[in-house]
Amino acid sequence: MKVAVSSTGSDLDAQVDPRFGRCAYFLIVNPDDMTFEAFENESVSLGGGAGIQSAQFVASKGASVVITGNVGPNAIRTLDAAG
């Protein structure tokens, strides 16, 4: 299982960023051994559709759980469709 965390920074000590589509980083964490990869959120500066792009990104990384604050309805539909 992989967990996607919307984060203010690139390490596990960073705060959870409540803005899913506009967070600074996504951490993709394996909770079994706490290994992780950090990715800058390339959708942060989009004029629109940042939530959808972010949802597609975390799904492409194999995340089955998301830890964040607010997720818009379009991003939720994208995450649901990804499984």
Share of the chain above pLDDT 90, in %: 89
Evaluate if residue 47 carries a pLDDT over 90.
Answer: no
pTM of the model: 0.92
Looking at residue 66, which CATH number applies to its domain? 3.30.420.130
Domain of residue 23 covers: 3-82
* Helical packing angle, 73-82 and 50-60, nearest 10°: 20
Number of domains forming the structure of the chain:
1
Q: Quickly state the pLDDT bin for 45 (edges 50, 70, 90).
A: confident
DSSP code per residue over 16-58: BPSBTTT-SEEEEEETTTTEEEEEE-TTTT-SS-HHHHHHHHH
